[in-house]
């Protein structure tokens, strides 16, 4: 049971172009739980679109990620950032954290539910006694329409003038609640294909009340489920994302 690294070189390059900064409403949501005198851990910090502003605001934050490519991008932005390359399922430290968060629905990437439960228990063990865990998952309302053929979904121009294209197709497995979205990244110099990179992207899409059961099994006793970054209480799974605020 290992975490997959979906972010290769071409994927990371496209991510940096499309998502160089965190959406302000999402950033404000995660910042609302931060305190200057507390120790913060961002799991799956990626290239730092959340971690960097936390540092700029003066918070004591550490990042952990399983993508060398993403962490290299982060280090270019803030060389002194406290970040570690690690599979969070196997991550060990003697420290405990007052606030742990995972942004952007990344928990949905744990499609093996045994692995997901293992990670939730790991995170519980990393929290200080009065600590808080905040994260988001995608819901079944966010599932894509099935299509059998690869189609161009995104095309961006790089600084060197090359074109970077992502072609994807989608299939939703109703029984497993997994969105399969395999993709092919292609780098072009005009009409000449320079490089391609395959990605087997998968996400578990959650029903209302599903994650709460996993959290209770992991040992969290106080759980709030929101349907928006404005902290509206979720009442069904018609929203695209659930946000969780968890205490021990």
Tens-place pLDDT, residues 173-218 = 999 999 999 999 999 999 999 999 999 999 999 999 999 999 999 9
Tens-place pLDDT, residues 5-47 = 667 899 999 999 999 899 999 999 999 999 999 999 999 999 9
Rounded to an integer, what is the distance from CA 74 to the centroid of its chain? 15
| Domain range annotation of the chain | 9-140+206-247, 142-204
d(CA 7, CA 15): 9
Rounded to an integer, what is the distance from CA 218 to the centroid of its chain? 20
| The overall pTM is greater than 0.85 | yes
Tens-place pLDDT, residues 43-99 = 999 999 999 999 999 999 999 999 999 999 999 999 999 999 999 999 999 999 999
Which residues lie across from 188 on neighbouring strands? Answer: 163, 193
Beta strands 222-226 and 241-247, pairing class:
antiparallel
Beta strands 97-102 and 127-138, pairing class:
parallel
Name the superfamily (CATH) of residues 9-140+206-247: Vaccinia Virus protein VP39 (3.40.50.150)
d(CA 66, CA 114): 19
């Amino acid at each position: 049971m290992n975490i997959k690294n979906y972010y290769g070189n071409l994927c990371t390059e496209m991510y940096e172009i499309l998502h160089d900064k965190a959406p302000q409403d999402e950033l404000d949501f995660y910042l609302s739980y931060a305190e200057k005198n507390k120790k913060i851990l961002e799991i799956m910090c990626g290239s730092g679109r959340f971690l960097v502003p936390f540092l700029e605001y003066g918070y004591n934050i550490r990042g952990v990620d399983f993508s060398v490519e993403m962490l290299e991008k982060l280090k270019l932005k803030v060389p002194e950032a406290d970040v570690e390359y690690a599979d969070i399922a196997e991550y060990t430290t003697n420290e405990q954290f007052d606030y742990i968060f995972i942004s952007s629905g990344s928990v949905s990437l744990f499609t093996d539910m045994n692995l997901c439960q293992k990670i939730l228990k790991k995170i519980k063990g990393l929290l200080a006694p009065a600590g808080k865990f905040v994260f988001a998952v995608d819901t079944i309302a966010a599932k894509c329409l099935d299509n059998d053929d690869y189609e161009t979904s995104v095309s961006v121009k790089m600084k060197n003038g090359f074109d970077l294209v992502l072609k994807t197709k989608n299939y939703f497995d109703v029984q497993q609640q997994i969105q399969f979205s395999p993709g092919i990244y292609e780098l072009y110099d005009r009409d000449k294909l320079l490089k391609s990179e395959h990605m087997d992207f998968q996400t578990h899409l959650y029903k209302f009340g599903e994650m709460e059961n996993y959290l209770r099994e992991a040992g969290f006793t106080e759980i709030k489920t929101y349907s928006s970054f404005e902290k509206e209480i979720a009442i069904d799974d018609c929203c695209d994302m659930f946000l969780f605020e968890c205490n021990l």
